[in-house]
Copies of this chain bind each other. A is one copy, B any other.
Amino acid sequence: VSQPTIHDVARSAKVSKSLVSLVVRGSPNVTEGKRQRVLRAIEDLGYRPNLMARSLAARRTTTIGVMLSDLHNPFFAEVVDGIDAAASASGYGILLNTGNRVVAREAQAIDAFLQLRTDGLILAGTVLPTASIVEASLSCPVVLVSRTSRAPTVDTVANDDRAGAELAVQHLHDLGHHRIAAVDGGNGAGAKARVDGYRHAMTRLGLEKHIRVASGAFTEEGGYRGARSLLRSNHLPTAVCAANDLAAIGVLNAIEEEGLRIPQDISLMGYDNTFLAGLRHISLSTINQSRAEIGQMAITCLLERIEGGRRDPRRLLLTPELVARDTTAPPRPEDAL
């Protein structure tokens, strides 16, 4: 199973290794005749350049590593589409990894990329502490997706989670809700900002005494847990803002298990507008953020550092928008006050 090397190709085409290298990399300064000979030899032998050797010598991998905090969250899969498209348009390949939202495993995943010496690193929704992220950014350009940071060595491209959460609360308030509760996203990326936005909006609307945050996570299970604790109280909320769509589905399950109906008894907001929210059977009101744009921006940031030599940080904040579907409606008349 030993693969042919550039040397084999050179010998077979009766030229030097350098010439083969030039042909492989598409140099224009090669006689057509020799180029053909080399190409034929490559074809005949089934030669495939050894990326290890190539990267070692060239001191660059033209590969960017993408660490997905959660492979199960459709939101990230959709962001990857954008990243992939943008990267390959610029001649870079991407490699994926995941840490399952577990700090230690995410650290390992990142380390794998650093050892590989990828030219850049995208951390999508990482739960890692800032210190670890900064450390990584010392050896390789890093951009954080769906999470912000003040660290001067990392770029961030995220949706304005605070504004999005405010949009959600405002929407519910517009429908007439007052007892609006929230299920947070635990240590998930952007979770804190979403809760902040919730608190801020509630306060701004004079509803501070109704502020109620149950602890959850960016998972179905987390949403379910949070909702359970909310439902145990004697004064039920009339509306719930979930940390993300996945969590919203957990909330939805908990609420229906209780024999309550959505949106008649309780209104529900998700966040992310993943395909789940659009499923007819769920038809979840949610907050949209453009994943294609996020992916594109992430690559742009990386390339500015890798090829443009930028050193100062970029902080991109995309504007979220409300998507009202069928899980939100006015509260029951008796609850309207």
Contact = CB atoms under 8 A, between A and B. Distances in A.
Interface of A: 1, 3, 46, 48-53, 55-56, 61, 63, 71-72, 74, 77-78, 80-81, 84, 93, 95-98, 100, 111-112, 114-117, 138-140, 220, 249, 252-253, 256-257, 275-276, 279-282
Given A1-B138, A1-B140, A56-B56, 5 more contacts: A71-B71, A95-B112, A252-B281, A253-B281, A256-B280
A71 B63 CA distance: 19
Which among A1, A51, A63 has the highest number of chain B CB atoms within 10 Å?
A51
A230 B100 CA distance: 40
Contacts of A115: 48-51
A98 B98 contact: no
Contact of A52 (B55, B97, B98, B249): B55
Contact of A95 (B46, B78, B95, B220): B95
Given A96-B95, A96-B96, A257-B280, A52 B117 contact: yes
28 contacts: A1-B138, A3-B117, A3-B139, A46-B138, A48-B115, A48-B139, A50-B56, A50-B115, A51-B52, A51-B112, A51-B116, A51-B117, A52-B56, A53-B56, A71-B80, A74-B74, A84-B100, A95-B96, A96-B97, A220-B275, A249-B279, A249-B281, A252-B280, A253-B279, A253-B280, A276-B276, A281-B282, A282-B282
Contacts of A257: 280
Q: How many subunits of this chain does the assembly comprise?
A: 2
A84 B97 CA distance: 10
A305 to B, nearest CB: 10
A295 to B, nearest CB: 12
A78 B73 CA distance: 11
A6 to B, nearest CB: 13
A111 B48 CA distance: 9
A84 B275 CA distance: 26
A77 B84 contact: no
A21 B281 CA distance: 58
A1 B56 CA distance: 16
Which among A95, A139, A256 has the highest number of chain B CB atoms within 10 Å?
A95
A72 to B, nearest CB: 5
Nearest to A112: B93
A250 B46 CA distance: 43
A102 to B, nearest CB: 11
Contacts of A48: 111, 114-115, 139
Contacts of A71: 71, 77, 80-81
A69 to B, nearest CB: 13
A307 to B, nearest CB: 14
Contacts of A279: 220, 249, 253, 282
